[in-house]
Amino acid sequence: MAVGIDRLFAGGTVLCDGAMGTMLYSCGVFINRCYDELNLSQPEMVRSVHQQYLQAGAEVIETNTFGANSFRLERFALREKVREFNLAGAAIARQSVDAIREKQGTEAFVAGAVGPLGVRLEPLGKLSLEEAREAFAEQISALAEGGVDLIIIETMMSIDEAEQAVLAARQVAPHLKVAVMVTVDEDGNCLDGTSPEVAAERLTAVGADAIGCNCSSGPATVLTVIERMREATALPLLAMPNAGMPRNVEGRNIYLTSPEYMASFVRKAVRAGASWVGGCCGTTPAHIRAMRGSLRAMDAQESGERATEHTPHIVHASESEHRVEPRPLGERSQIGRMIADGEFVTMVEIVPPKGFDCSKELAGALLMKKRGVHVINVPDSPRASARMGAQSLCVQIQQQVGIETILHYTCRDRNVLSMQSDLLGASSIGLKNILCLTGDPPKMGNYPDATAVFDVDAIGLVNIVHGLNQGLDIGRNPIGGSTGFTISVAANPGVPDIEHEVRRFAYKVEAGAEFCITQPVFDLRLLEDFLRRIEGFRIPVIAGIWPLTSLRNAEFMKNDLRVAMPDEIFVRMAAAGGKEEALAEGLKIAQEMLASVRGSVQGVQVSAPFGKYTAAAEVLGLTEEIA
């Protein structure tokens, strides 16, 4: 550790540098280029940026390594360059600091810059906490080897990810001080919903030496966050905002916040309790120079009074105090009661129309109700097709027909904020059964150029719904009660990689799934194998049943939908002859499959291909209307 580094954490003000990316972009580097790679290909350009910030008065400069982790570099096919880029970035910054010390006698320090991984962590994403920590450790280890004086973990959108970065630093570079900054939305909350108070407490508890806020929507937002963090921690605070929000001027994104305004921000930030100040996107050496002048003009006694005035005290309640216990499964919905009581459940799938007229679907739901079907299952734009929203059809079926529905809900089209909004709305209008799905990618559908979101997959979605059932939003903040959903998930016993499917199923159960619905089953042996594999973490299983309509339908199921189908099914459908004979044979196969699975599952979902609702009822043996 460099001599004098401890003074940076002793309570005085510290001026850091501004944006690296903004400066490199101004030099003509395209925005889609790997900026970390410039440490090797154009080191003089990077060194020039460091020198400009040091000459402007920065006491701490950050290495050009914001995105130099394995996950971000993989996008440029440079994953194996993690160590090289970080070593080079540290060397360039160190040379710049040593040069100004020799030339002007000015002491400055090198902070190894560590940005987010660019992938979502569990429980909302696929990346485990351990894998995230390993990726951070790889980068931080190289920065430490390169001789940085401290680590700055910045622009963290998720507190879970920030914690793993701090833990990694403690693991591989225990001799280095660690500062960590989150980025927030306009309301001052982290992008995972965590409040500044909670973020301050958690990052303090995990062992950070300093915490704060950077990037975000500009100085005003960051100032508010610093004020709120000051109430929850005694650690030094960092405040490094963007130069406001960018504006598009003749095709270029321009940051319009002036150096004078940033200088004014510095005075307010220090009075609010910040020890470290600097800039993020859009800030330049001119901004840092103005901030340096503002700091020099501040009275030393005011700084001492400020330290006394802002004695921290904890004001926020813990997550456990807000968590509520959802009602027992049997009290949340009809299907929840049937599953809790061990009854055999019958469902029929009704696909939303491609237009706005759902009279046929409502008539089908009414027919199913009269035949004694328990629940209607409504897919969410299956195969990425453009259809009426599943939530709308569910509401109309429940209100106009009076039969319970299960809403399929996919991750394809929505970010996590939209998901939370939709789910809160669904609960408020009486939709209580959710099937959590990842969703088919748009390229499978009739609008292949449509974009997908996939903020999370089905496992992350289950975690979100489970949290809402506990009265907590995605940021673990209270929502005023439980949404009371019954949570179901999908499973496919016929996938080639059954080990992967079983692992994902286990994660879904751990996340809070309460029953599952399988893809259509045509091979009983595959279903039996799946049930055997999940024995240690089994939840009630509803088997999917699909009455085939023709040989071509069977070929489509196997080749397009990748549904496992034994050869004897094709033989039987090919031998069926005409259209009516094929329909009858498909119905018979479905009835045989239902009889075979009935003793090993807790219900069946029967599809109604091409709107053949009567056929679905016949599969279930429900040929007569009930009173």
Q: Which residues are annotated as a binding site for Zn(2+)?
A: 215, 280-281
Contact yes or no for 397/403 (Cβ under 8 A): yes
Count of beta carbons in the 10 Å neighbourhood of residue 281: 24
297 phi and psi angles, rounded to 5 deg: -85, -10
Return the exposure string of 31-40: e unless at least 16 CB atoms fall within 10 Å of the residue's CB, then b: eeebbbbbbe
- Which pair of tokens denotes residue 232? 């929850």
C-alpha distances out from residue 53 to 57, 133, 394, Å: 7, 31, 59
Beta bridge partner(s), residue 239: 213, 277
Three-state DSSP state, 336: helix
Cα end-to-end distance, the chain, whole Å:
82
**Token representation of residue 390:** 């599943």
Pairing assessment for the beta strands 109-114 and 486-491 based on DSSP bridges: unpaired
What span, in angstroms and rounded, lies between the C-alpha atoms of 209 and 218?
Answer: 24
DSSP character at residue 252:
E
Q: Are 526 and 502 in contact (CB under 8 A)?
A: no
- 292: nearest Cα among 151, 113, 106, 156: 106
How do 486-491 and 237-241 pair as beta strands?
Answer: unpaired
CA–CA gap between residue 200 and residue 235 (Å, rounded): 9
Residue 584's identity, in one-letter code, is A
Question: Which residues contribute to the annotated binding site?
Answer: 215, 280-281
